[in-house]
Structure 1
Amino acid sequence: MSRERVLVAMSGGVDSSVAAALLVEQGYDVIGATMKLFCYGDEVPDRPCCSLDSIDDARRVCEGLGVPHYVLNMEDAFGRDVLQNFVDEYARGRTPIPCVRCNSFTKFRDLLAKADAVDAQWIATGHYAQARGGELFRGLDPAKDQSYFLWGIDRAVVSRMLLPVGALTKAETRARARALGLHVVADKAESQDICFVPGGDHTVVLAKHLASGDAALSRGPILLSDGRKVGEHEGFARFTIGQRRGLPGGYAEPMFVTAIRPAERAVVIGPRDELLGRGIIAREMNWLV
């Protein structure tokens, strides 16, 4: 009887490596795939994921498991669906979450298309969440739960997802990696930053993709809620709602960014209570439970 085939997205980290190993243990016909999402230039520092070294780590893990490994060039799709959206949102005065976009499109929707091309019934990743019958659930370990970052995935995709480490804690995942002989990744550091943002400074990315003199990175006023000007900034895209760092001082209480007004190039600041609102506008609702 033929085994069910699964295409596993492998970042070169411990979570996706253990996911692949567990699926091999469970009898699946596993194919490992590492997605190359952007050009790895000198400005992108070494990191636990999304580097040439990580691709090599994923290859070595697959070699040890006795399964094939492929590198998928997803630069065009990632640039269109994730990177351009990242730039556009900052230019509109909003703070994007590119990991959600990447999961919603590149890492799952586009990966599923690749799975269909190799006759794989399933796709899998190393996310700490659980998928059952087309429904998405939190990971068993509340400290590592990543279901939030998967909220945008279509239900049809969720119905073909396997998330093998979703029922493990991080410590258990590392222990399984050691027990399975995955020494290449067992103690590898976790990735914390946005993969394509060098040094955690998102304005470097914006400066490369926005026109010279774009309003998002141009000088503008810092205002109080009553309209009084209390300073200037070097671009509203450097700020996010709730931010404290980089604001004028000398106030009796801590000040926060309470609003960003792109049309005026203005950043509005105020005390904590001015962060409160009476409602919320939610877009792109997706019911997965």
Structure 2
Amino acid sequence: MGERTLGWGLRLWVTLVGLLLVAPTLIVIPMSFGAGSTFRFPPEHWSLHWYAEFFTSKQWLASLANSLQVGLLAAALATVLGTAAAFGIDRARFRARGVLRQLLMAPMILPGIVVAVAIYGVFLRWQLNGTMLGFVLAHTVLGVPFVITSVQTSLAHYDPTMEKAAACLGAGRFSTLRRIVLPLIAPGCVSGFVFAFATSFDEVVIALFLQTPDIKTLPVKMYESIVLEIDPTIAAASSLIVVLTTVLLLVPQFLRRRSHHD
């Protein structure tokens, strides 16, 4: 009886937390289809006016293009570095391996403002503030921990004896890596890439420190539209981000199910 009550209590708690997390989305998306000049829920009249404003505004489209460019480049670089780091940690046998992993995971653990101030101070000396390279490197730092976690999960189910079998058959290290290792851990690499891209695409704190009038990401533009002016276009932008992020986060789930079926 106690276990059954505890089970229902946990289910109720999970349901309440889920509703709390989803509630803003259920409000923002309907508001993005409103025809009024201010935020109103529920909308009196329905329209695609604010989506048209978003896709016809040079500033909104430029910020979207910047976010996509930074996100893709940072995710690709984080995937390469994170995969190499995950391999190194998995194959290493020195005592400080756990300490090294914690250091690499620090950007995920530390508060965002702490990471932002540190990156801003370093990039100010390197003259990377306000540059596309600076955005990519900063967001790569945030994405690497997600790639390491995803790849290490794949390596946990990886059988290293397959490499020895390939070596016995005459395969070189590069051939073994390309034909055996990478295909087996590909779901983890793709998942890490997706999470790194989603992290970069939604990031706003570091972007606020690095942004200039010429380079501004979509989250920064959304922040300014709330602070400096009340622009309902942000509802359309928020809805697009929610949809894109949701679709991206469903990709790893699809890959996991597919790998389990295979």
Indicate whether the TM-score tops 0.5: no
Greater helix share, 1 or 2?
Answer: 2
TM range (shorter): under 0.3
Give the alignment's TM-score, normalised by structure 2.
0.25
Give the alignment's TM-score, normalised by structure 1.
0.23
State the structure with bigger RCO (CA 8 A, min sep 6), 1 or 2: 2
